[in-house]
Amino acid sequence: MVKPLKIAGIFGIVLLVLVVISVILSLSTFFGVVSSIKSGGEIEAFQTQAKGILNFVTIILLISYLVSLGFFYGFVALGKRFKNKMLLITGWIFIILAILGFILTLGFYVTGNLYPEKQASSADSSFISLLQQEVSQTPVVGTILNMFGDAGFLPLLILFAAAILALHLVFSIGLIQLKKNELVLGSWAGSFEIGSLIVNGLGTIAMLLETIMFFQASKKFE
């Protein structure tokens, strides 16, 4: 008999491992930059090394999208079992976004547009200009925003941010409602999900709690 909650827990463990690997790679890249600057090493050699790390990170990102499908389906399964429409709907939305993320990441990577480099004008150091420079270098999202040019950047960014905020809040509230279904960790995970809107690192803690929750739910209900 298929146990979607247990499977979701297993995928959660894989995702956590991928997160750890990504953090290690990010730190190694950062310390590599510092070391290269201090030692006066050749920039070209470091750029070659950084490009290899970036390619590896992209592969991890693509794998993460695929693995997250099984993880997110766990929320769909919980939504169906407990008639929690918030979890059911957001679970499916996350699955659709993961599929789109995989397709767009792969497509932009093949065409060489995944990591755009867009520099702000030196004559314009306004907050909007600096924000545009920062966001435009974000994989996938930055590429899409750059397609709409300067005129469409801010309206589209606000739309993206509002949609993500609304989706995250609905998902978090759905998790908190699991407390009445004897899944206290779901309530804690929902609280950390809300906190992750301010402190990004809390999202990893929320994922850890959700992974443990899936195993507990599987033991109780499957």
What is the secondary structure of 5-44 as a DSSP string?
HHHHHHHHHHHHHHHHHHHHHHHHHHHHHHHHHHHT--HH
Q: Could you tell me which of 72, 106, 98, 93 has the C-alpha nearest to residue 166?
A: 93
> 117-173: per-residue pLDDT in tens?
654 444 455 666 666 666 666 777 777 777 777 677 778 888 888 999 999 999 999
> 17-47: per-residue pLDDT in tens?
999 998 887 777 666 655 655 555 555 555 6
Q: Could you tell me which of 47, 73, 65, 70 has the C-alpha nearest to residue 108?
A: 65
Question: Taking the C-alpha atoms of 172, 175, 180 and 182 in order, what is their torsion angle to the nearest 10 degrees?
Answer: -150
Q: How far is the C-alpha of 75 from the C-alpha of 171, rounded, in Å?
A: 9
Q: How far is the C-alpha of 122 from the C-alpha of 104, rounded, in Å?
A: 31
